[in-house]
């Protein structure tokens, strides 16, 4: 049983953790009202915002986990939005940045935390950006200025690498990546799937 | 407040629906223990399984919604799996099919139901397939045999179209699509984003 699911969210009764009839995995099931409370993987949406001079907007995290490390704007997708809409929202919330979100760049499976990342490219509509509750500092950085050893998450690191590789080639595409296991920072994770080459 | 979230899943107390401090959207918040129960978009994973003769495996739905209409294997992503692992699991559960899942083909935002689809290509490891609790019938079909007017969901329809288009070209890539609004079957949805051309 998951520690946050002890009671039925519909009726408040104590739940059981067992395989419902016709299912194949144990679920949080209410013996009083029959409601099943599913747990599902979560989607993280993000954007790599590019300024007109080619620098990208990076944020220093002001919250846990990985407080003090660097990321581009990204966060949990909300109900009723597309990945692009969510990415634009995150850019405003985390960096006060007005971003025109472009095509998807990267789709990453992170099974060890039950997450899927959807990372877009994007362009800053204005030069304005700045700190927020979530970011202690925001900066426009060239590729050689990116603090590669102080990136908050492997997903962010891989997405940035792919972005700059594609930009050098002058040809963007959508990349897919499976991260095979949890890496302790600053180690790099092993990767599986279509992307074994960049580490 | 969402109808299935009236009580705190951690302590059972009645929840409030309001914007927590430091947040920007109303959440289901417990005034007794402080637990916040988030609602998040769900990921659907699926695979278009190809037989050695090029036919693809389709299933007639034996469950609601869209009972009696056709789909390839697809369903909710489970905790701890990648999209490819989930797609293989769905092929076995829905069609008794042993599928080697290949690269991602299609990523679809469906904001009106708060879902993200991740559809892979794949190959049947054996010719075996058959009905299950979820599928009243399973069939291997050529492109011209697909019941295009009896497809269960627009996401399935678009994924199949892209699969056959890519196969004709001899070049697969990852496609992204935003479905702009709910279509009543058998109408086709308007599309936004990078894929306005196929309707």
Structure tokens at B124: 């049947």
Strands (E), B3-145: 16-18, 27-29, 36-37, 42-50, 56-61, 70-71, 74-76, 99-110, 115-124, 135-141
Bridge partners, A37 (sequence order):
A28
Q: Is residue B39 scored above 70 in pLDDT?
A: yes
A12 contact residues in B (CB cutoff 8 A): 6-8, 12-14
Strand partners, B61: B135
Question: Parallel, antiparallel, or unpaired: how do β-strands A99-110 and A74-76 relate?
Answer: unpaired
Question: What is the tens place of the pLDDT at every residue in B101-129?
Answer: 999 999 999 999 999 999 999 999 999 99
- Residue to mutate among A2, A12, A81, A115, with most B CBs inside 10 A, is A12
Q: What is the DSSP string of A21-88?
A: TT-SS-EEE-TTT--EE----EEEEEEEEE-TTS-EEEEEE-SSSSTT-EE-SEEEPPTT--HHHHHH
> What average pLDDT does chain A have?
92
Residue B49 contacts A, CB cutoff 8 Å: no
Please give the pLDDT value at position B193: 41
Beta-carbon pairs below 8 A across chains A and B: 140
> What does the pLDDT read at residue A154?
96
Do A107 and B174 lie within an 8 Å CB cutoff?
yes
Which residue is it, tokens 């490891």?
B125
Task: Search chain B and give the residue with CA nearest A12.
Answer: B12
A145-199 tens-digit pLDDT: 999 999 999 999 999 999 999 999 999 999 999 998 776 655 445 454 444 333 2
Cβ under 8 Å to A: B residues 114-143 = 114, 116, 118, 133
Chain A residues close to B175, C-beta within 8 Å: 174
CA nearest neighbour of B35 among B68, B13, B65, B60: B13
Q: What's the pLDDT tens digit per position in B21-38? A: 888 899 999 999 999 999
- Whether residue A9 and residue B7 make contact (CB cut-off 8 A), yes or no, is yes
**Look-up of token digits 């990921």:** B43
Residue A33 forms contact with B (CB below 8 Å): no
**Confidence check: pLDDT of B88 > 90:** yes
Average pLDDT over residues B142-169: 98
Calculate how close chain B gets to A18, using CA atoms only, in Å.
16
Partner B contacted by A22 (CB < 8 A): yes
Give the ipTM of the model, two decimals please. Answer: 0.90
Q: Measured between alpha carbons, how far is B86 from B83 in angstroms, rounded to an integer? A: 5
Contact list in B for residue A175 (CB cut-off 8 A) is 174
Predicted pLDDT of residue B182: 74
Q: How close B107 gets to chain A, by Cα (Å)?
A: 9
**Which candidate from A24, A40, A133 shows the least CB-CB separation from B22?**
A133
Kindly indicate the confidence band of residue B195, based on its pLDDT and cuts at 50, 70 and 90: very low
Q: A79–B41: do the CB atoms touch at under 8 Å?
A: yes
Distance of CA A73 to the CA centre of its chain: 9
Half-sphere exposure of B191 (CA within 13 A, CB side): 17
**Structural contact between residues A126 and A98, judged by C-beta atoms closer than 8 angstroms:** yes
Q: What is the DSSP code (8-state) at residue B30?
A: -
What CA dihedral angle connects B25, B28, B30 and B36, to 10 degrees? -70
Res A92: pLDDT: 98
Percent of chain B, pLDDT > 70?
A: 91
Residue A108's nearest CA partner among A100, A96, A118 is A118
To the nearest whole number, what is the mean pLDDT of chain B?
Answer: 92
Q: What integer is the mean pLDDT of A83-92?
A: 98
A12 to B10: CB separation less than 8 angstroms, yes or no: no
Share of chain B above pLDDT 90, in %: 85
Strand pairing report for B70-71 and B74-76:
unpaired
Mutation test of the interface with chain A: which of B6, B62, B109, choosing the one with the most A Cβ atoms within 10 A?
Answer: B109
pLDDT at B184: 62
DSSP states of A86-135 as a string? HHHHHHHHHH---EEEEEEEEEEEEGGGTEEEEEEEEEESSS-----SSE
With beta carbons under 8 A apart, name residues in chain A contacting B8: 7, 9, 12
A93, burial (CB in 10 Å: exposed 0-12, middle 13-18, buried 19+):
middle
DSSP string, B122-183: EEESSS-----SSEEEEEEE-GGGS-GGGBS-HHHHHHHHHHHHHHHHT----EEEEE-S--
pLDDT for the residue B198: 32
Whether B192 shows a pLDDT value over 60: the answer reads no
Chain B 166-195, CB below 8 Å of chain A: which residues? 173-176, 178, 193-194
Closest by alpha carbon to A46, among A89, A109, A110?
Answer: A89
Q: Going by C-beta distance under 8 Å and a sequence separation of 6 or more, which residues neighbour residue B21?
A: none
A43, B43 Cβ separation under 8 angstroms: yes
Q: N- to C-terminal Cα distance for chain B?
A: 37
The answer to whether the CB of B39 falls within 8 A of the CB of B84 is no
What phi, psi does B39 have (nearest 5°)? Answer: -110, 135
Give the best residue of B80, B110, B116, B172 to mutate against chain A (max A CB count within 10 A). Answer: B116
Q: What are phi and psi of A125, to 5 degrees?
A: -80, -25
């Amino acid at each position: 049983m998951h520690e946050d699911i002890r009671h039925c969210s519909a009726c408040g009764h104590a739940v059981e953790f067992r395989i419902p009839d016709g299912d194949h995995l144990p679920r949080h099931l209410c013996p009083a009202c029959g409601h099943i409370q599913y747990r599902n993987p979560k989607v993280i949406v993000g954007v790599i915002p590019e300024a007109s001079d080619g620098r990208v907007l990076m944020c220093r995290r002001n919250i846990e986990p990985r407080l003090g490390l660097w990321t581009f704007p990204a966060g949990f997708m909300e109900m009723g939005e597309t990945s692009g809409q969510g990415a634009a929202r995150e850019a405003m919330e985390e960096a006060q940045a007005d971003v025109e979100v472009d095509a998807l760049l990267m789709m990453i499976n992170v099974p060890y935390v039950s997450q899927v990342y959807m990372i877009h490219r994007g362009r800053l509509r204005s030069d304005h950006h700045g700190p927020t509750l979530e970011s202690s500092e925001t900066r426009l950085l060239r590729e050689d200025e990116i603090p590669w050893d102080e990136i908050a998450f492997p997903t962010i690191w891989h997405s940035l690498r792919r972005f700059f590789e594609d930009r050098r080639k002058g040809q963007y595409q959508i990349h897919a990546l499976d991260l095979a296991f949890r890496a302790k920072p600053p180690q790099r994770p092993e990767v599986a799937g279509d992307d074994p080459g960049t580490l």
